[in-house]
């Protein structure tokens, strides 16, 4: 199972993620973290989705290529986290749901790279990543 624990984030990303969640709550958003770190095997299973397995394509990254697979000294240190906004406890996957763009702006204001931005190279609404420059 991929991790949802904030402790599995890169040490530089952990405080940013906490602040992100705090600001989202302050803005009245109910945000669920769906993934922090995932293993190479889990990444490959995700890559197969929409290619050799049924489902929609959700990633262009193979094992080791995703920011979610990052480790430091062999320990999980994900450089990204994925979210979904909730409404009455229900996940709102529809990209038109207003909470997405509000959360995106909050993440970007904290210096994160949000893949839901229309200018993102690979479009992936739930994905927030530590900017380059962090090891
Ligand atoms: Zn992601």
Ligand 1 centroid – CA 3 distance (Å): 12
Ligand 1 centroid – CA 69 distance (Å): 10
Locate 11 and state its tokens: 């040490």
CATH dotted code for 6-37+71-129: 3.30.1380.10
Q: Where are the domains of the chain?
A: 6-37+71-129
52: Cβ–Cβ under 8 A, 6 or more apart, which residues? none
pLDDT at 134 > cutoff 60: no
Tell if the pTM clears 0.85, that is, is over it: yes
Q: Rounded to the nearest 10 degrees, what angle do helices 99-109 and 13-26 cross at?
A: 140
* CA–CA gap between residue 59 and residue 121 (Å, rounded): 12
Ligand 1 centroid – CA 68 distance (Å): 6
Of 58-62, 65-69, 76-80, 98-102, the least confident:
58-62
Q: How confident is the model at residue 58 (pLDDT cuts 50, 70, 90)?
A: confident
Ligand 1 centroid – CA 97 distance (Å): 19
């Amino acid at each position: 199972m991929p991790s949802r624990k904030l402790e599995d984030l890169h040490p530089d990303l952990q405080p940013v993620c906490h602040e992100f969640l705090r600001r989202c709550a302050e803005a009245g958003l109910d945000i669920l973290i769906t993934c922090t770190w995932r293993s190479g095997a889990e990444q490959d299973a995700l890559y197969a989705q929409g290619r050799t397995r049924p489902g929609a394509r959700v990633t262009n990254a193979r094992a080791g290529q995703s920011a979610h697979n990052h480790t430091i000294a062999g320990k999980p240190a994900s450089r990204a986290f994925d979210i979904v906004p909730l409404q009455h406890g229900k996940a709102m996957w529809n990209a038109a749901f207003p909470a997405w763009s509000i959360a995106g702006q909050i993440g970007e204001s904290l210096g994160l790279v949000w893949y839901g931005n229309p200018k993102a190279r690979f479009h992936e609404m739930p994905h927030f990543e530590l900017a380059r420059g962090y090891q």
